[in-house]
Each structure stands twice: as C-alpha cells, then as structure tokens.
Structure 1
C-alpha cells in the first residue's frame, strides 16, 4: 500500500510518536507529569465509543484524523483492552484498519459519539436475505446507488473481514469487505489458487490443492496473445464457480462492486502475464452478454501488485476493441470506482486527443464515436473537461488550437500498452440454442 498524500503530522514535541500513556515533553525538553485529574479524564473516555473522532498514528509514524467505526475486546483481561477499527477521514475507505489504543492520541478526542449512531446500528440488524439484497444492489436495473442504499451498504460493509490474501507469489493487503461464505468469517488471511481461484483457510490446504489442480490458466478460451500478455474469455454460465470466486476476490479491492450470484449473465475477460509456470492473472473486466444500455464493461480491476503499469487502460482499450468488432458504441456501467474513473478519463483523453491532432480538429462528435466506439456522451464530457467544446448555433462544435492539443497531450502522458488488434481472435457472443 502506498504512502498517504500530503499527510498531516501531529506535533507532540517528539516527532509525533508519543503513546497515549507516555509523559508529555514540554518546551526545552522538560517532562510534563500528568495530574491525577488528567489521568482520570483519560480513563473516563475508555473504551472509546463508536463514532469518536481522534488523531491516530499511522504506519508512517505521523498522526491523521480518524473516526472510530467499530471496536472489539482483546483476549487480555484489562478493562480497556480494546482494538478500534478506524476510518482515516482524509482518505479513501481502502485505508481503514484495526489499530491499538497506543496509536490514538486521547488528548485530541473531539466527538464522543456520532448522533443517532446507536439507532442506526439497531435499525441495521438485518436478516441474511436483506444482506444478500444489499450485495445484489443494481444487478437488475443497474441504477446508481441512492443515498439510503449507500448508507446501508457502508454500514454492512464497514469492517474488512479479510485482512490479506495470498495469490501466486504475492501477499496482498485487502481494501474492502467481501461477503465470503459464513465459514470464512474468522479468517484474517485467505489463500487463493491463482489458476482456478478456489480459496482456502490454510497454507497447507493450498499446497495440497496445487498438487491436484491441473489448470495453468483461467478456464475458458484464449482470445488474445501478444508477447507475454494473454487474454482469456470465461463464460460465467460454463464456469460458474470460477466466476463467483473471481467476484469474491474482486470485491476485496472494489468498494461498490456488486457480488454477482448469478454469473451466468456475464462474460469475464481475464488478462494474464505468461511464463513457463503458467498464465498469471493481473486483472480482468466483466461484460454483460446482453446489455440494453450499451454497457461494454460491468466491472474492471487491476490487482494491486500490477497497478501503475498501464494494465487498467489496456483493459479499457480491449473492451472498446470488442465493441468495434460488435459494430456498437459502448460505455462502462456506473458507478465507477475512483480508480476506474481515473483510468477511463485518461483513456478517453488520450484516444480523442490523438485523433483530433491527426484531423486538425476537423471532425464531428458522431465521427469520433464511430471511429472509437466511445459513446457520444462520454466524448462530449471529456472534451468539455478539456475546454475543447463550444456551443454555436444550437450545436456543439470542437474548437482545438494545435498548441492547446499539444499541451493536453503532454499532460496526458504516454499512451502505454496498446492492443494489437491483429492478435485478437474473437467473435461476438451468441446464445446457443
């Protein structure tokens, strides 16, 4: 996990590393002894209530504002032996984690408990059926989560249930909750077979499994091979268990991804790096077999060890190459994750700028859509964000000075990995009778 951006350091006189029980260091290095009243005040705060806001020492040894999301009693016998699950309020939920009391600066406590937090917790004691419905939000209608559903989703998924996974040669810290079957609730770490994606509780189970598993690549058809990169198309109906396992795995790294119990309706495109040991998954995207809304991508994920290598934009580009083969325009299903949105904006920007430069901006939005398979609304939004669109006489007109295009192209950076269409062997999906 990368370092936090622009972290705020808590000034405690000794580099921000004072534990709550340590004596304070005053000006000139003098030790300030706490009074009995101060000690009693500290004791009266404990255990901290859910909703408390306080400063917390992160792994970079700097203090950051957090909100207590949950707490749990430690096995030891002391009355204040609790761990706290905290959300770093400056940053994304993927950094949420369990911390010990000594990481918290009790002098910085701002709010003892959020309003109505107890009522909210009580109202969200859900049945298993209700919890399943949350996981299936927007499967049928594909609508964005409304405010109530979002709150319900965040309450149910507020605490990560799996801290780390082992996948191939990588141990990966997870980012979000994933609704694994109940028998895995007590597992801090899960072990995945990197080829069939079956998951196990113990390393020995994985080792035994690997001696029997004869897969060396995702189950499905290889539709692309270029150098060491390979893409496999996996039909969720033919490979249901693999599709479900892939969804469990992906949810650990996607906040609002729906867990699709009915994977029959989807095709999964799994990107792999290949070597003499097999084809190792680096990321994937899923696609509905039939989409009335012109969605050419449902979910997209590049696994953390392979991020910042251009694979996200490669997956996006691949989805549009499939749309071109189908003779359709496409757009990703919303809502996009924060990282997914960044990848799409980068891809749209680069593709459109390249074409505008070649055509000296003498091209219409419809022509751009026909050439790229990008939906007209996405093209319009991208060009508007780059201030390359003007509205004249009732229609949108592309206005791009070559110097402006060059400046935007430079800011967009290099194109990265490209899809060699000559290596794509694929025909659009047709339901077999």
Structure 2
C-alpha cells in the first residue's frame, strides 16, 4: 500500500450521485462525463461485420452490447462486463455494464429490466481480435490506446492495458462514508481480501482507518483521539489548513490514504512503500476538527525535479478551486526549497489542461507587470516552474519566437489580456505568509 503515483492532475468533477463529491485527472471546471441527452436509438445493422443480432438470449453473455436505461431515464449503449446470479432462473441475473460513450467511473450493476433486449448484440469476433493483437493493431485497439492518453497511462502498452482493465473491471466498493458524506466510488481499489465482499466501507475521517460496519466506526470514533491528519500543520489561513504527513512516520495512514484515493483514480499505480513519500493533506477546519478536502503527494528525493506525484480533490469538494490551490501550493514548496519543479509524468490530457492553465495564469501575470525584456531562465527562477514547461506553455500560446539562435518572448498587452481571459479564474490564493515549513532535507 503506498503512494499512488503516475498521475498529475486532479479529479475535480462532481459526483454522479449529485449530493457529494482524482490524475491526478481533471480540472476544477471539468463537467462530469455522464450520459446527457444522447438519443436512445437502436444500433444499426450496418454498424459493421463484427456484430450479430441475438435478441432474447438469456442470460446475457459477457461482451454483449445492448441499450441500457440510465438514471437520467434515457437509453445509452453499454457493454456487459460481468454478470452474477441473484436468484435461480435465466432471468435472475444482474449485469455489470460499461457505458461505452463515457468514462469507466460510471460503470455499474443494473437489473435486467433496465436493458432493452430488442437491441442485444454480441461481439462475435472479439476473441479472434485478441489473438491477433501481436500481428495487427485493430481499429478497436487503436481507440483503446488513444483513450489511455485521456486517462493518463501512456506508459501502458495495449497488452498491459487489457490486463489492467481485466483486473479492475468491476468496482469492488460501491460507496464509502467519510465524515458527513456518503460518496459513490468511481473505480476499483485493491483493498485486502477480507473486504472483497463489502459494498460499503466506513472511514474514520481523521486517521483513515476503514471498517465494514457503521457500528464499528462508531466504536472507533469514541476511541480515536485525532481531530486532524497525523502530521505537522504547515499552513493555516482562515478555515483552510495544510498538514504534512511523512509516509515513513505514519505508514498506516499513508497506506489507507492510497486505498481511499484509488477509489477515485483510474489507471494509477499503487506503490506499497509509502516511506519514500510526503503527503500534503488539505483540510477545511471547524469546531469538530480538520476535515480532509484533498491531497497531493511528492517524493522526498526526486532526481527528475518532480514536485508532485499524485493529486486528488475528494468528490464533495470538487469544483471549488481546491485543485488549483493544491497545484499552486506544490510550487510554493519548490520556491521554499530553492528548486524548480514539475509534475510527475506522464500527464493525462486533463492533467496537462490543469497544469497548462496554472502555468498560463502565472506566466501571463508576470509578463503583464514586467515592462522590460525577460528570459525563460528569469521566469523559471521567479516561479519555480521548469524551463521546459514555460517554453511549451508560451509556444502553445504563440507568445514565443526563435530569432538569431535564441527564444524571444512576444508580449503584446492585448494578446496577453486575451489569453488571460481564456485561462479563466485562478482559484484560491496561497497566502505565502501563512506557510511555515522546513524542506525535508533540512528536517531533523
């Protein structure tokens, strides 16, 4: 159990349950990838030679494609990922389905009555395709590989991606209770085997121990003396607080945090050695204690200048600017260290979007205020942003030219204003005067 890494933007999307709520994977303003208004048309017979109509075939086989009624009352195409018997007859199954138009986090168990059996299709050649993968990349495989760039695991080849999806295809925990929130989970998380038959877990919001039953949590809360994460408070501004937790000193907490975070992060690696990581836990504080909003982790020592390994805003707190705050906070720590920083690669598309937004706002603010010429190196020294990230950001904005062997920044005020407006709001500000922190290399 350890630090989740290999992701770098946050899941700032509202929960699909509507009353609550990360790559590391989405921006503060990203809309949820939920079904929304697609027509409930029946798939065409001309969709391709791979599909064969098989109406009335019960129980449905894994791999079957069919239209399913979602919670919006509309029908959407799904693929049956798994099935399980709930009674004794052929109709007495429920099916775990993937909505093929949308992110895997919406996968769920559905009853037979939610499926339109007149639209049943099966992929008759799917096994043949799997056998041919080493010889030819099919259009289906290319699409799956393209999707990995959206989901943030460019490091996985097609075979590894299929293995990952097979192992994690069914969510093992449906909901969790954390403090005053009940939260629908998004993805599989590798909890110990004794929790494999548990649909709901109850977390202590302060020490992050998890239990199977509400009664266990209530007994635990009478004994747990923590009212905040078990680390040093390094930032307090108003009701916001940040705690630094050393994975070596607080191993169980670090492991539990990673189990929890994996429920909202898809293609991420769960490392079982948390000793190498520091966890920065952002909290909202009231008279009951400090309640976790989100976190980011970073390696204690990174040869690649990574200043952030994994980032997540918990679902109840998304779309409030906390993701941008966490990114900004990671750079303030880099400034204190006297180093430049960059998020751990690979970045998902949404991760890049989050960081590109931050880099854009910071750099354009400086360029607007700076009257004379300024170099990439000077910008890097001022912001702690890696020179490569500055260069790629300015190039994406067409604000840089290559003249006489060097890069020249073109900072027309009207162009800067236009880009700043497009970049959107900057989120919550980090009050650096409230940050009291000693870099790890100088500690103890």
TM range (shorter): 0.7 to 0.9
Indicate conservation of the 8 Å contact 1:10/1:63, yes or no.
no
Q: Which residue of 1 aligns with 2:2?
A: 2
Compared CA separation, residues 173 and 26, structure 1 to 2 (3 A): same
Greater Cα shift, 144-153 or 156-165: 144-153
Asked if 1:13 is matched to 2:18, the reply is yes
Compared CA separation, residues 178 and 383, structure 1 to 2 (3 A): same
Q: Could you tell me how far apart the structure 2 residues matched to 1:11 and 1:222 are?
A: 33
How far apart are 1:370 and its partner, in Å? 1.2
Compared CA separation, residues 122 and 226, structure 1 to 2 (3 A): same
Indicate conservation of the 8 Å contact 1:137/1:258, yes or no.
no
Residues 296-351 of structure 1, C-alpha deviations (whole Å, 9 max, x = no match): 01100000100011100101111001111111111111234555433222211211
Compared CA separation, residues 118 and 323, structure 1 to 2 (3 A): same
Residues 260-300 of structure 1, C-alpha deviations (whole Å, 9 max, x = no match): 21100000000000000000000000010011111101100
How far apart are 1:389 and its partner, in Å? 2.5
Give secondary structure in 2 for the equivalent of 1:40: strand
Structure whose alpha-carbon radius of gyration is higher = 1
Indicate conservation of the 8 Å contact 2:296/2:326, yes or no.
yes
Q: Could you tell me how far apart the structure 1 residues matched to 2:108 and 2:431 are?
A: 41
Q: Could you tell me how far apart the structure 1 residues matched to 2:132 and 2:244 are?
A: 42
How far apart are 1:391 and its partner, in Å? 2.9
Alignment of 1:121-270 (within 5 A): 144-270=155-281
How far apart are 1:173 and its partner, in Å? 0.6
Residues 188-226 of structure 1, C-alpha deviations (whole Å, 9 max, x = no match): 100000000000000010000000000000001000001
Indicate conservation of the 8 Å contact 1:218/1:232, yes or no.
yes
Compared CA separation, residues 410 and 2, structure 1 to 2 (3 A): farther
Compared CA separation, residues 111 and 359, structure 1 to 2 (3 A): farther
Residues 222-255 of structure 1, C-alpha deviations (whole Å, 9 max, x = no match): 0000100000000000000000000000000011
Greater Cα shift, 5-14 or 102-111: 5-14
Give secondary structure in 2 for the equivalent of 1:197: coil
Q: Could you tell me how far apart the structure 2 residues matched to 1:180 and 1:226 are?
A: 35
Indicate conservation of the 8 Å contact 1:49/1:112, yes or no.
no
Residues 132-191 of structure 1, C-alpha deviations (whole Å, 9 max, x = no match): 999999999999333332222122111110010000000011111000000000011000
Q: Could you tell me how far apart the structure 2 residues matched to 1:241 and 1:9 are?
A: 28
Higher relative contact order (CA 8 A, sep 6+): 2
Give secondary structure in 2 for the equivalent of 1:232: strand
Indicate conservation of the 8 Å contact 1:365/1:379, yes or no.
yes
Compared CA separation, residues 134 and 350, structure 1 to 2 (3 A): closer
Compared CA separation, residues 134 and 237, structure 1 to 2 (3 A): farther
Indicate conservation of the 8 Å contact 1:68/1:86, yes or no.
yes
Structure 2 segments unaligned to the other structure (5+ residues): 5-9, 20-37
Q: Could you tell me how far apart the structure 2 residues matched to 1:350 and 1:397 are?
A: 19
Give secondary structure in 2 for the equivalent of 1:222: strand
Q: Could you tell me how far apart the structure 2 residues matched to 1:29 and 1:126 are?
A: 17
How far apart are 1:83 and its partner, in Å? 1.6
Greater Cα shift, 61-70 or 232-241: 61-70
Q: Could you tell me how far apart the structure 2 residues matched to 1:11 and 1:193 are?
A: 23
How far apart are 1:259 and its partner, in Å? 1.5
Compared CA separation, residues 273 and 9, structure 1 to 2 (3 A): closer
Q: Could you tell me how far apart the structure 2 residues matched to 1:285 and 1:13 are?
A: 25
Compared CA separation, residues 295 and 120, structure 1 to 2 (3 A): farther
Indicate conservation of the 8 Å contact 1:8/1:63, yes or no.
no
Indicate conservation of the 8 Å contact 2:3/2:271, yes or no.
no
Give secondary structure in 1 for the equivalent of 2:442: coil
Q: Could you tell me how far apart the structure 1 residues matched to 2:420 and 2:348 are?
A: 24
Compared CA separation, residues 305 and 28, structure 1 to 2 (3 A): closer
Compared CA separation, residues 19 and 141, structure 1 to 2 (3 A): closer
Asked if 1:43 is matched to 2:55, the reply is yes
Compared CA separation, residues 48 and 362, structure 1 to 2 (3 A): farther
Give secondary structure in 2 for the equivalent of 1:191: strand
How far apart are 1:379 and its partner, in Å? 1.6
Give secondary structure in 1 for the equivalent of 2:253: helix
Give secondary structure in 2 for the equivalent of 1:29: coil
Q: Could you tell me how far apart the structure 2 residues matched to 1:10 and 1:290 are?
A: 34
Q: Could you tell me how far apart the structure 1 residues matched to 2:242 and 2:210 are?
A: 22
Compared CA separation, residues 126 and 6, structure 1 to 2 (3 A): closer
Indicate conservation of the 8 Å contact 1:302/1:312, yes or no.
yes
Structural RMSD (CA) = 8.0
How far apart are 1:94 and its partner, in Å? 1.2
Indicate conservation of the 8 Å contact 2:64/2:79, yes or no.
yes
Q: TM-score, normalised by structure 2?
A: 0.80
Number of residues of Structure 1 aligned to a counterpart in Structure 2: 420
Give secondary structure in 2 for the equivalent of 1:44: coil
Q: TM-score, normalised by structure 1?
A: 0.82
Q: Decide which of 295, 298, 315 is 1:287's aligned counterpart.
A: 298
Compared CA separation, residues 273 and 242, structure 1 to 2 (3 A): same
Compared CA separation, residues 343 and 413, structure 1 to 2 (3 A): same
